[in-house]
A and B are shown apart, each in its own frame.
Chain A
Amino acid sequence: MDFTLGERSDIFREEARAFLAEAFTPEVKETMHETGVHHNWDFHKALVEKGWLAPGWPVEYGGQGRDPMEMLAFSEEFQRAGAPTYGVGTTIMVSSILRHLGTEEQKQEFLPRALRGEIIIVLGFTEPESGSDVAAAQTRAVRDGDEWIINGQKMFTTNAQEGDYAFMLTRTNPDVPKHQGLTTFLVPLRQEGVEIQAVRTLSGERTNLTFYNDVRVPDAMRIGEVDGGWDVMTVGLTFERSGAQGGESIRLLEEMEEWVLSAHDDDGNPRREDPDVLARLGKAAAENEVSSLMGRRSAWVHDTGGMPGVEGSMGKLFSSEALTRQSGDFVDLLGADGIRSQGDPSAIQGGAADYAFRFALGATTYGGTSEVQRNIIAQRGLGLPRAK
């Protein structure tokens, strides 16, 4: 057995750290917090200059051919830093789908632009009436000659205001079982009929509700077969859950450890000498080590030719639930000071615990709720029968 990621990963990790120290500036951080937008064009351009939008891609597609273990080290560093990567994340995820399932024309048209950092692609799966049951999407696409006309609404279309295209799941046939009547499109966002409404979240992040009224999309922008959207989604979702885990928790614990080294209770006793305080930080350290090991294991499964399905779900479930538990516990641990808001100058460690407490609520939902992950683990991992 060997728990190290290997020398190539160590070197790439150092390069990622050096890059972050330079490109993830206090200004970028401040803009993120002020706007709630986890995409930053300056930072994005800096990534492009390094050739790092998709370093794991083959060289002929504009990547660097990095292996899954190198990519794991890379994404661990970006997560831990809290860098603004939502835009690049969704863009590359959709580009990966195009690389595997797109037509030659689509690859020529979109992949070079995506990797040059010229376009941002956002996700349009969730709707006001469907989340976990993603195949229940109702947004309609109706054929009109060489075009399709799209009508409907998409929820949590994060970064739509920055984006050029939405990768959208639509209903093309309402008369067949729900999984068989879906089709995916790349829908240009900057056109008439598209309306973007900002949605504010508990952690200050901005996301969107987007409306599509008679939006026209050429058939050339269809990804996969007509009514074959579920196959496309299956490929897309497997890209989503493997990778680094627990970055947010690791950063939170670092803040708490910095705090405890100089904190005193009301009677002037050093808090670091209180076994209860130490135990609570230590428990978080155990959970963080587990999250990180689960992320690494998924990368290893991928690296050795496997598909980290159940492993990816376990990592996602565990790390997001651990963050929920820890952040709540740390707000408690700080007492009344724990509820001073992030951004308030008096907040302890910049309000890291308050921020994580809010942020965690999203973490257990996006990319598949904890309940969806538990279904996957129970059915595919433990072999339990499906719920009727």
Chain B
Amino acid sequence: MDLNPTAEQDQLIDAFSSLYTKESSTERVRAAEPLGFDEELWDHLKEIGALEMAVDESSGGWGATMLDLSLVAEQHGRALGAAPLFESQVALRLLARLGEPAKELLRASLAGEALTTVALHGPTNGSLKMVPAGAIADRVIFLDGDKICVGGTSQRVIIENLGSMPVADVSLGGDVEVISTGAQARDAFEMLFDEWFLLLANALVGIGERSIEIGVDYVKERKAFGVPIGSFQAISHGLADAATAMDGSKLLSREAAWSADVMPERTRELAALAFGFSTESAREASYRALHYHGGYGFMLEYDIQLFFRRAKAWPALYGEPSKSFARAESERLKKIESGV
């Protein structure tokens, strides 16, 4: 057992953390609202290799592991990065898995010619609802029954939302193309969900941990009744619980990401568990940190509200945590029945 990142992983974390410090300050995050897209940050991310790292050398990338991507995702969460990192990365990986029929789109997406995203829900009445990065993407990949399709995004309505994310409802036009069908398509898309969960779970670790830091700093400084409010157990115990849950989120989310490369037979279960657990923990951590700011937490001026809104909104694009817990449990029961 070794819970420390390797020297290479530390370098990777440092590289991205410096980038976010420069290009994703909370001033920049605010400036990008309400759309939630900071084009300059996105350019820097592309420049440092955020797209290429997501796919193998054979697909034109440099083949980072899911754990590497997750460590970057954690930094992205800490900085509330206003850029479509996760959508792009899971889309690229899906295209790489689909091989020949997706080759041209993969090339164009990697080259930055087409910003390609994924829809987390299939079409209803010819429309894809709440598409992540739908407000800025050129192409959207979605699952329709047992077909993986790609469509354009020109018929879109940008949706203002709690997390200030570049989300849109996209009406599908005549330019929809089917790139995979049948069991292969379903399996490939299931794996996309696993990977989405891993990146989001680790991003939520970043959001939650940063929230606790902000909350702890505040309650050490703020005084009431002549003492720092952090000395009141009503407050310190709430933060201790939240810090404990975030600590658990981090262990679980990293283990889940690690499993993708080392024991993939556990990844479907662990990724869904990590997503659900991190969603609940980060929500609670950011809520407590905000609440302990008193009235100031309710003001737009204090940064904690930026974290609180995103902790709730980022994972909500998929759905509530119980949905992923149920997914994980189905997987566990399948294994029990097959005697694994």
Contacts and interface: CB of A to CB of B under 8 A. Distances in A.
A binds B: yes
Interface of A: 1-6, 69, 257-258, 260-261, 272, 275-276, 278-283, 285-287, 289-291, 293-294, 296-297, 299-300, 303, 314, 317-318, 371, 373-375, 377-379, 381-388
Contact of A382 (B227, B232, B236, B269): B236
Given A290-B277, A378-B237, A279 B252 contact: no
Given A318-B244, A371-B237, A384-B239, 12 more contacts: A1-B2, A1-B3, A1-B4, A1-B9, A272-B333, A285-B273, A285-B329, A286-B325, A290-B251, A290-B252, A379-B236, A382-B236
A289 B181 CA distance: 35
Best-surrounded residue of B6, B254, B323, B325 (most CB of chain A within 10 A):
B325
A317 B220 CA distance: 23
Nearest to A386: B231
Complex A-B, nearest 8 residue pairs according to Cβ-Cβ distance, in ascending order: A282-B325, A282-B329, A279-B322, A290-B248, A378-B236, A278-B326, A377-B240, A286-B273
B272 A282 contact: yes
B330 interface: yes
Nearest to B230: A384
Best-surrounded residue of B2, B9, B227, B240 (most CB of chain A within 10 A):
B240
Contacts of A279: 322-323, 325-326, 329
A299 B2 CA distance: 11
A1 B236 contact: no
Contacts of A388: 227, 231
Contacts, number: 167
B219 interface: yes
B255 interface: yes
Contacts of A69: 1
Contacts of B248: 290-291, 293-294, 314, 318
A290 B255 CA distance: 10
B100 interface: no
A384 B326 contact: no
In terms of DSSP, what is the predominant structure of the interface of chain A? helix
Interface string B314-336: 00000001111111111011001
B145 interface: no
Given A278-B330, A318-B244, A374-B241, A286 B277 contact: yes
B153 to A, nearest CB: 31
A385 B227 contact: yes
Contacts of A3: 1, 3, 254-255, 258-259, 262
B144 interface: no
Interface string B213-224: 000100110000
Contact of B276 (A283, A300, A381): A283
Nearest to A273: B330
Contacts of A275: 322-323, 326
B233 interface: yes
B56 to A, nearest CB: 21
Nearest to A272: B333
A1 B258 contact: yes
Contacts of B252: 286, 289-290, 293
B173 interface: no
B251 to A, nearest CB: 4
Contacts of B251: 290, 293-294, 297
B322 A383 contact: no
A261 B337 contact: yes
B245 interface: yes
Contacts of B327: 282
In terms of DSSP, what is the predominant structure of the interface of chain B? helix
B49 interface: no
A381 B237 CA distance: 12
Contacts of B241: 317, 374
A2 B228 contact: no
A286 B232 CA distance: 31
Interface in B114-141: none
B255 A293 contact: yes
A279 B272 CA distance: 11
A282 B5 contact: no
Nearest to A376: B240
Contacts of B269: 285
Nearest to B255: A3
Interface in B25-83: 67
B247 interface: yes
A327 B252 CA distance: 22
Given A260-B333, A261-B337, A283-B276, A382 B326 contact: no
Nearest to B251: A293
Contact of B240 (A294, A300, A378, A386): A378
A384 B220 contact: yes
Interface string B268-285: 011011101100000000
B239 A378 contact: yes
B92 interface: no
A1 B67 contact: yes
B322 to A, nearest CB: 4
B243 interface: yes
Given A1-B4, A261-B336, A317-B244, A289 B270 contact: yes
A5 to B, nearest CB: 6
Given A282-B327, A318-B248, A387 B240 contact: no
A384 B258 contact: no
A289 B273 contact: yes
B176 to A, nearest CB: 30
Nearest to B1: A300
A382 B276 contact: no
A290 B1 CA distance: 16
A301 to B, nearest CB: 9
Contact of A296 (B1, B237, B323): B1
Contacts of A260: 333
